[in-house]
Structure 1
Amino acid sequence: MDSLISAAARALAAGDALQALKRVALRDDPPALALRGIAMAQLGELARARELLKQAARGFGTQEATAQARCVVAEAEVALALRDFGDPPRALDAARATLEARGDRANALQARLIAARRWLLLGRLDEATALLAGIDPQNLPPLPAAVAALAQAELALRSLRMSDARAALDTAEAAAVAARVPALQTEAAQARALLEQPAARRVGGGETRPLRLHEVAELLDSGALVVDACRRGLRAGAAWLPLASRPILFTLLRTLAETWPGDAGRDALIERAFRLRAPDETHRARLRVEIGRLRALVSGHADIDATPRGFALRPAGGRAVAVLAPPVDGDQGELIALLADGAAWSTSALALALGASQRTVQRALAELEAAGRVRAIGQARSRRWLAPPLIGFTTILLLPAALPLA
């Protein structure tokens, strides 16, 4: 390694990207391209950084497999920051295997953490759990310890394991201070703030009460019959009945739960489920059909009785009934929750995270843009979507796979 490359590497390690660029800006050999890419990433020029790192990886080739793998890992981290999930994770997995085989444990760990954070963003909690298993931040240097603990904290929060989340946040905060990285300290503080912010609303009996994450976890563990409007399903103890693909049945169930222990009128049920304000006999007949389907679906957890005015929900075993409503109103809660992290997301990345088609996401984004809740930057394939940060509450329960489903 020549003196300019060494000096640029030392400057990058010290966080001085401009000094690093002064030494390698005019060079296009693979080591210089890699350092230029890392410097551009530190300066926030992520798209250019990604191009340079890809060029460096191609330049190293298979003859310098370790250096090539390091470039792949760095490029994957830039892609994560760009919220670009178009490339399959095979390249990152292969790079991690190469680094582990050649004894580069630090960069192999970095690759594992990047992969885990990617799966977390996509809501694939099982894959993230597998990657984070066996990583003990207490045995790591401060910088990777902080990153690992933050990933473990997010996984615990999204699984509503509150004691594990608090322990991971304690570790992350201590490691971030020891690493002397302000960005990590800020991220740890923001994650800690999620514990005290309202995450959902409990609706029922004409009242609405905000719930923090630990209160949501307590409600789900209480044995009550919980109609979960964050994940659109019914939670009864350990049982989970998803209803996201059956919106009419879910709306009927939610309306019945909100009026429990009383009954819901037929006209009110028709208005909410079918969005009609002047029902006739055909709509009432359709309501009876849908109630019959819902009654069969929730059998064993609750019954639905007909009353002179309408219908009433009767939970099995004398359970209480609760409605868990999202902290933000509207049909695009998951979309807003993903954009609330402040990063610029592409339409394809949002579609992948939500498990929806790009066209569906585009329509939802157009509605949100018309309402002034999101904005677009860039054009065509480079277009990205941003939303202002949401103040006063957390949307973590709206993120994909946020709640334990078993």
Structure 2
Amino acid sequence: MDSLITAAARALASGDPLGALNRVALRDDAPALALRGIAMAQLGDLDRARALVRRAARTFGQREAIARARCIVAEAEIALASRDLGWPTKALDAACATLEAHGDRPNAAYGRHLQVRRLLLLGRLDEAEQGISELDPASLPPASRTVCELVVAGIALRRLRTKAACAALTRAKDAARQASIPTLTAEVEHASLALSTPAARLIARGVERPLLLEEVEALQASPALVVDACRHVVRRSGVMVSLGRRPVLFTLARVLAEAWPVDVPRAALMARAFRAKRVDESHRARLRVEIGRLRALLRPLAGVTATPRGFVLVACDAGEVLVLARPVEERHAAVLALLADGEAWSSSALALALATSQRTVQRALDQLAVAGKVQSFGRGRARRWLAPPVPGFTTSLLLPALLTGD
């Protein structure tokens, strides 16, 4: 490797893409193409970066297996940054195996943790946690170790394990300090904000207040009856009843819990649960049926009693009834939460992350665009969507697959 290639590689490692381009911008040999691609990725031109890295992989000969495998890892990172979650993972698996077989363990480990980051974006927390447990951060250079610890922190935040997240973020700060790359330091600082900004809202006896993630975690162990609007479950003392597929029943449970210990008039229940502007006898009959179903499901946790004007939730020995609500009550909150990471997403990637159809996501994006909450650029398959961060809130409880057991 000649001196210009070496100098360009060192510039990239220190977070200086312009310095790297100054040395290899006019060269078209395979190593220079790879370095140019990585530099363009650091500068944010991901389409150009991917084209250069692919060209470098083709230019490297068949005998240069390590270099070709490194190009595949670089392309996988670019795909992840551009939120191309449908990128073929089998190619990355083969590249990591090649790197391990040739003794390049740091780059192989980095490729493995790219796979974990993809799983985290897709909300597949169990697989992500298993993958990250197989990696040894101590064997990675400081920059890679920083990103690895950020992944550990991201999993812990989504699992509501604030102590583990805090420890991982502390290790990430130390690694970022050793790496001396400003963008990494900024990324760690941004991730740390999730621990100090409101993550949810607590509603009790008609009073509402914001909660930090640490307080949300503590609420899970509370003996109170909690109607969790983040996961659409009702829980108390480790017993949980899921209403995720019963939206009418969950709405009734939430309305009753928000009013507790006061009863709720029948008209108010029908208006919220059935979205009925005009109430007739059919709505009253349906309300009786749905209340009966809710009473049967909640029997291990609470009771629902009729009153002269409506119904009231009976907390039994729970002592208190609490409602845990999302920080932002928005119909398409999950879409906004994914877009709030500041990256440009395609509708297909959003559909993969939310485990829904692309057409459903496209309809949601169109509605959000009309409301001025998201914006797009490009056309056709190249169309990407962006949204500003949710002000004053962390989006951890808006993302899919947030808690254990989903």
**Is the structural similarity TM-score above 0.5?**
yes
Percent identity, aligned pairs only?
Answer: 59
Give deviations 1:137-185, integer Å, cap 9, x for gaps: 4554322221121111111111111111111111111111121111111
What's the counterpart of residue 129 of structure 1? Answer: 129
Give, in whole Å, the separation in 1 of the partners of 2:387 and 2:47. Answer: 20
Give, in whole Å, the separation in 2 of the partners of 1:236 and 1:306. Answer: 22
Give, in whole Å, the separation in 1 of the partners of 2:333 and 2:72. Answer: 34
Give, in whole Å, the separation in 1 of the partners of 2:15 and 2:178. Answer: 16
**What are structure 1's unaligned runs of at least 5 residues?**
none
1:37 correspondence with 2:41: no
1:328 correspondence with 2:331: no
Question: Residue 7 of structure 1: CA displacement?
Answer: 4.3
1:84 to 1:256, Cα distance in 2 relative to 1, 3 A: same
Amino acid at match of 1:334: A
Contact 1:227 1:322 in 2 (8 A): yes
Contact 1:305 1:314 in 2 (8 A): yes
Give, in whole Å, the separation in 2 of the partners of 1:223 and 1:125. Answer: 27
Is the deviation greater in 206-215 or in 291-300? 291-300
Amino acid at match of 1:142: P
What's the counterpart of residue 262 of structure 1? Answer: 262
Give deviations 1:49-106, integer Å, cap 9, x for gaps: 1122123223336533221211111111111111111123222222212212221111
1:176 to 1:2, Cα distance in 2 relative to 1, 3 A: closer
What's the counterpart of residue 388 of structure 2? Answer: 388
Report SS of the residue matched to 1:294: helix
Give, in whole Å, the separation in 2 of the partners of 1:394 and 1:260. Answer: 28
1:308 correspondence with 2:319: no
Give, in whole Å, the separation in 1 of the partners of 2:354 and 2:9. Answer: 39
1:201 to 1:29, Cα distance in 2 relative to 1, 3 A: same
Question: Residue 22 of structure 1: CA displacement?
Answer: 4.5
Amino acid at match of 1:230: C
Give, in whole Å, the separation in 2 of the partners of 1:54 and 1:238. Answer: 51
Question: Residue 27 of structure 1: CA displacement?
Answer: 4.2
Is the deviation greater in 357-366 or in 243-252? 243-252
Report SS of the residue matched to 1:63: coil
Kindly report the root-mean-square deviation, in angstroms, between the aligned alpha carbons of the 2 structures. Answer: 2.0
Is the deviation greater in 187-196 or in 344-353? 187-196
Amino acid at match of 1:311: F
Contact 2:236 2:318 in 1 (8 A): no
Give, in whole Å, the separation in 2 of the partners of 1:149 and 1:20. Answer: 27
Give, in whole Å, the separation in 2 of the partners of 1:83 and 1:102. Answer: 30
Report SS of the residue matched to 2:341: coil
Contact 2:76 2:87 in 1 (8 A): no
Give deviations 1:358-394, integer Å, cap 9, x for gaps: 1111111111111111111111111111111222121
Contact 2:106 2:141 in 1 (8 A): no
Count of residue pairs brought into register by the alignment: 406
Question: Residue 201 of structure 1: CA displacement?
Answer: 0.5
Give, in whole Å, the separation in 2 of the partners of 1:70 and 1:138. Answer: 21
What's the counterpart of residue 400 of structure 1? Answer: 400
Contact 1:300 1:316 in 2 (8 A): no
Give deviations 1:196-219, integer Å, cap 9, x for gaps: 111100113111011111110111
1:292 to 1:54, Cα distance in 2 relative to 1, 3 A: farther
| TM-score, normalising length: structure 1 | 0.94
